[in-house]
Structure formats: C-alpha cells, structure tokens
Amino acid sequence: LAAGLAREALATAERSATRLGATGDHADRAEALLLVARSAIFAGRPDRASAAAHEASALFSLQHRAGWSSAADALAIECRLLSGRIVEADLDEALAISDQAAATGLREVSVDARLLAADIAAVLHDWDACEAAIALFDEVPLGVVARFRLEHLRAQAFAARGKREAAVQTCIVALDTFADLAAALGGTEMRASVAIHANHLAGLGLRLALDEGDPATVLEWAERHRASALAAPPVQPPEDIELEHQLNELRAALLAVDETARAGQTDREAQSRVAVAQERVRRRVQRTPGRLARNAASVGRELAVSDPDTAWAVFLQSERRQYAVYARGTEIELVELGSLDEMERAAANVAGSVALHLRASARGIDRDPRPILDAAARLDALLFPRFDRTWNRIVVCPVGTAYNLPWGLLPTLRDTHFVLTPSIAAYLRCQRMEPLEQSRVVAVAGPGLDLAEHEVRQVIAAHGAGDVLSGTSADADRVKQVISGADIAHIACHGRFEFESPMFSSLELHGGPMFVHEFERLRPCPRVTVLSACHAGSHTAPAEREILGLSASLVAAGARSVVAATFAVPDSAATVAMMRGIHESLAAGADV
C-alpha cells in the first residue's frame, strides 16, 4: 500500500482474508478485512471497501475488540467521504474513534481517524476544525501515506485562509520529499505507482498556479505534475542473475499459455505459473536502486535557451478542465481549452475511426480516410486553438491517456517536425546527448510475420551495413546482447500491450517475449529505437502523473529517441516501404 500498488495490495489482502476464514482464524481474518477495505479505497472500489469494513466491524464486535471495531467504522466513514455522502455528524464520530483508538493503544488507527476528521472538516469548509485536528501532528512521526495526507491538508488550510505562498511552499516541500522517496525505490512501476500519494499535493499546487494565471508558474507546476520517474538521468542497474532466471520462467509459462490457447484450450496450471512468475519479477525489480530526481523549477528559462527555434505545447488538466501552455522562445502563453469531457470524446472519436479503418484494411476493404481526417481536425481545433503553426519544430507534452493518440494525424503537426515527450526534463536530457556520427545498426525480425525478414533487410540496406537477427538467432537473450549499445535498433515483430500490467508488455521474439523490464536493463540502451510492432507506443497512467509503457521505459533507460505505434501495424508492403523511408532519412542525417 505504501508503494501505491493498490491492485496487488487488494489481491493479497483478499487472499489472506479468504484463507484465514477457511482455517477458522476469525481474529486475524477481521484484521485482514481491514486491509481489504483500505486497499479497495486506494484501488477506487469504495463499494468493496465499505462491505469489507462493515464485515470487519461486526467480527470485531463479536470478539469484544472495541478499538479495532472503531478502526473498521472509520474506514466505513472514509468510504462515505469518497462517495460524497459525508455529513457533520461524521466529523464528531471520526474524532471520537481517534480518541478511543489512542486510549486502547492503537496509535496508527488513531492517526488515520484524526486525519480522516481533518479531511471531513476540509470538505465541510470547517477550517477551524481542520486545523485543530492536524495541530496534534506537529511533533509526531508519521508514515508515508499519513505524511502526504497531512501536508495536503495543511496546504488546503493555508489556501482557504488566503495564505497562498504558504500553501504553495507546503506543496513544494512535500513534493520534493516525494521525489527523494521515489528516487530510493526500485523499478519504474513502483516509482510511478507511489505517485498516487502525491497527486493531491501536485494537483493543489497546479490549481493555485492556474488561479494566479502566470504562464511561467503554471509551466513549472505542469512539470512537477508529470512523469517524474522518467525525468532523471538513468542509473544502470546491477547484473541480476536471479531476475534473468525469473524472466525466463515467465517467458516459458506464457509460451505454454499461448500454445494451449491456439489449440482452443485453457491451461489453468500454466496461467497460475504466469501469475506466480509475474509476482516474483515485481518483487525482484522493486529492490533495484532508484535514480536521482530533478527539480522542476525554472523550466521556462531552460526552454528558451535550449532551442529558440522550437515551439512547445504542454498540456495539463485540473478539475475536469483542460489547459495548455504554449511556449515559443521567451514567449509563454496559458490557454484554457475547455471541458476535459469534450476533449476525451473527441479523442475517442479519432481513436475509434482509426481502429475501424485498420480493421477494414486488414480484411482487404478500402475505406474513405476522410472521416479520420475530419475527426482529427475537430480534435486539433480543441487542442491548438491559438497555436502558431509556422515553427520548424514542435515539442508536445501530453497528459494521461493522450499519449496514445495518433498525434501525427492532427493538422497542426501533420506537416512539421514534432516529438512527444513525457516531461520537459526528459526531453532536455535527451537533447543533450551528442548526435549520431558513425552508426551501428541492428535490425531484428520476430516470428509469425510474412514480411518481417524482408523489412529488416530493407532497413539494413538503407544504412548500407548492419546486423540482422532473425529466426532462431532472434531470441530474447541474443537480442539483448546485440542491441545493447547500438546507435539504431529496429525491431519488426508482434507486440502485446498489457493495460493492467504495462511493465509486462512485450515484443514477441523467437522462443518467447521480451518484456519492458528487460528493455529497462539494457547496457547501454540503443540511442534510437524504431519499434515496428502493434501498440508498442501505448501507455497507461496508473497515478495520473506518471506513464508506463515500452517507449517511455526506453526513454527512462537512456534512449535519445523512440519511434513506435499506438495502433495495430499491418504486416504489409506499405509498412515495409514506410520503415525503409524512415531509415533512409536517418542514414542521410535527418532528425528522428
């Protein structure tokens, strides 16, 4: 829970509660149900949390454990708070629960209940009660989750009292603490997930900046609010033979699942091995050393000096409204774009139109592309209403699920050089890398595609020389060895994106898949990677601030540039021709 891995926490707590119930250990089962309720709250399932909290409260009452029963009652109140059904009586009840838990020696329960009382007071705009509730914590050591809740409450109280500077400074100090914490955690998934605890603080700071209306300040807060796990220089993890062994076990289990699925059967034992192997990998990578974090201050000045010929479009969201900061040289403009709901509908329309078109093309049906272009034009009008299109290069910082849009279809970007970046800091770090001079090129062909080998030979022909891996030589171990340190790596294969567990997304190679976890550990990562694979550019945003996916992890691992698709890639002559064109341009010295 402290790491923000809510789904895994909920699954573990549910298993514990079920097993303890089966063995008749009702005392421990009641405590496990408390963890189910807490995990369900973090996982966004208030109904399950409420049911578990009430069941736990009933068990504790039967066991005459008044303090623990109060803890369960506090979680039930928190569920009402999250559902918007809180009343003034809940404030008094939360304070009473805190006092009772303290009297029975349940310090953690007492702390949570008092923070809950402060949260309720904030929702009710009773700032005297809120400040009174949190005043007791001035000299009290708190855990990670409680500390972020406390600092958010303090910042809210300052803002409500008109003390804007104190509120902003509280958010900054707390977020710097978060950055230090995230830097010490192993694995991108864990660093991204722990951001859930800092979301409210980052969101409050961003809202205060928007209220002030200064574009440069908003730009700095937009940077604080996004992809901090990817912004810092990469630190190569140490060799880990045990992790390699666990990834090979996962590969073998997935192959067994795929083979039975192709035969129209279900192998429950193999599916169980996949789940166990994934859990072992997660636990292993969470112990990998982290990275140093980067401060978000003064990003506007850095943009101006980094490349005066580049225009920036940095997107952000606050309270269901969409905003953009357009930066051009030393000019910075803040634009309110409108309702986030409207943006999401327009984006879904574009994505749906492209998906329909691709499915028809796969069946040999010609479709009129105008519906796609019309949908893209409507979305473009919402995202770039006052954007100057005359710039030679445009850098786009999306937010949330917007990473998965086909940005190249939008009229503003269609005929110019543009790049997507998860954060300003990540882009500037990549730009500081020296441009390629003498290129070592590697091209990899995965199994099950008619034109993959033809495509990779065309890629090598475009550069004049390079290494080709295909057939049995293109297994995960060999590919990792050869593409490590390459200047340009091209991989043509089947891709699989796992929306629920994005770090287990993979590229299909001979002998089994190569996972995102493995790309993160390349030494060093290829400077430029072109992924000719379905959905290899797709991402999820588990905690709003961060993104997880293959191309983002390559950037985090030290890649300068990644080219990847967010949709299906047809195994066709058109794809081969496009990929050859990309590499002919790179060989001639063009920027990615």
Mapping DSSP onto H, E and C, the string for 521-538 reads CCCCCCCEEEEECCCCCC
Assess whether pLDDT exceeds 90 at residue 124. Answer: yes
Length of the chain (residues) = 592
Long-range Cβ pairs for the range 33-40 (8 Å, 24+): 33/59, 33/72, 34/68, 34/71, 34/72, 34/75, 35/1, 35/9, 36/10, 37/72, 37/75, 37/76, 37/79, 38/1, 38/13, 38/75, 39/1, 39/6, 39/9, 39/10, 39/12, 39/13, 40/10
Task: Pick the more confident residue, 448 or 246.
Answer: 448
Q: Is there a contact between 396 and 417 (Cβ–Cβ < 8 Å)? A: no
Interval 496-507 mean pLDDT: 85
Q: How far is CA 528 from CA 272, 555, 566, 588, in A?
A: 37, 10, 18, 15
The answer to whether residue 225 scores a pLDDT higher than 50 is yes
Q: How far apart are CA 168 and CA 155, in angstroms?
A: 7
Report for 245-254, 395-404, 576-585: range of highest mean pLDDT = 576-585
| Beta pairing partners, 322 | 317, 338
So what's the pLDDT on residue 545? 63
Residue 585, Cβ neighbours under 10 Å: how many?
Answer: 13
User: What's the token pair of residue 106?
Assistant: 């349940």
pLDDT at 293: 40
Cβ neighbours, 10 Å, residue 360: 12
Whether pLDDT at 381 is above 70: yes
Q: Which residue has the higher pLDDT, 115 or 428?
A: 115
Q: Is 465 a residue whose pLDDT tops 90?
A: yes
Q: At residue 468, does pLDDT exceed 70?
A: yes
HEC assignment per residue over 135-165: HCCCCCCCCHHHHHHHHHHHHHHHHHCCCHH
| Lowest model confidence (mean pLDDT) among 204-208, 280-284, 487-491, 564-568 | 280-284
Per-residue confidence (pLDDT) for residue 407, from 0 to 100: 94
Whole-number pLDDT of residue 229: 54
Half-sphere exposure of 412 (CA within 13 A, CB side): 23
- The 3-state DSSP class for residue 327 equals strand
Provide the pLDDT for residue 294: 43
Whose CA is closest to 173, among 53, 297, 277, 64?
297
**pLDDT at residue 118, rounded to an integer:** 97
Q: Distance between CA atoms of 371 and 180, rounded to whole angstroms?
A: 48
Q: Return the half-sphere exposure (C-beta side, CA atoms, 13 A cut-off) of residue 486.
A: 25
Of 99-103, 205-209, 263-267, which one has max mean pLDDT? 205-209
Query: Which two tokens mark 573?
Result: 């002559």
Share of the chain above pLDDT 70, in %: 89
pLDDT at 83 over 70: yes
Determine the pLDDT at residue 185.
59
| Gap between the Cα atoms of 561 and 559, Å rounded | 6
> 397 phi and psi, to 5 degrees?
-105, 100
Paired with 327 in beta bridges are: 312, 332
Rg (CA), the chain: 26
Who contacts 148 (Cβ-Cβ below 8 Å, separation ≥6)?
Answer: 174, 178, 197, 198, 200, 201
Q: How confident is the model at residue 18 (pLDDT cuts 50, 70, 90)?
A: very high
Residue found by looking up tokens 């999306």 in the block: 398
The burial of 22, by beta-carbon neighbours within 10 Å (0-12 exposed, 13-18 middle, 19 or more buried), is given as: exposed
Please state the rounded mean pLDDT for residues 119-137: 95
Q: Mean pLDDT across the stretch 409-425?
A: 91
Of 14-28, 166-180, 395-409, 430-444, least confident by mean pLDDT is: 430-444
Digit-coded pLDDT (tens) for 563-588: 999 999 999 999 999 999 999 999 99
Give the best-scoring range by mean pLDDT among 194-203, 277-286, 298-307.
194-203
Average pLDDT taken over every residue of the chain: 87
Least confident of 149-153, 251-255, 411-415: 251-255
Angle between helices 144-160 and 107-123 (to 10 degrees): 30
Mean pLDDT of 106-122: 92
- Residue 52: predicted pLDDT: 97
Please tell me the predicted confidence (pLDDT) of residue 186.
55
Q: Is 560 helix (H, G, I), strand (E, B) or coil?
A: coil
Separation CA 130–CA 343 (nearest Å): 36
pLDDT for the residue 322:
94
Whether 305 shows a pLDDT value over 70: the answer reads: no
Given a cut of 50, whether residue 233 has pLDDT beyond it is no
Across 103-112, 207-216, 293-302, 423-432, the highest mean pLDDT is recorded for 207-216
Kindly report the CA angle at 200 between 150 and 7, in degrees rounded to 5? 100
Decide: 518 and 480 in contact? Cβ < 8 Å.
yes
What value, to the nearest 5°, has the Cα angle with vertex 349 and ends 343 and 350?
95
Q: Is 490 exposed, middle or buried (0-12, 13-18, 19+ CB in 10 A)?
A: buried
What local confidence, expressed as pLDDT, does residue 292 receive?
37
3-state secondary structure of 337: strand
Residue 126, SS3? coil
Alpha-carbon distance of 387 to 421, in angstroms, equals: 18
pLDDT of 136-153, one tens digit each? 887 677 877 788 899 999
Check: CB of residue 487 under 8 Å from CB of residue 466. no
What confidence score (pLDDT) does residue 437 get? 66
**Helix (H) / strand (E) containing 332:** strand 331-339
Of 379, 402, 344, the closest CA to residue 547 belongs to 402
Secondary element (H or E) of residue 339: strand 331-339
Q: Work out the average pLDDT over 293-314.
A: 67
Report, as an integer, the average pLDDT of 240-256.
80
Beta bridge partners of 188: none
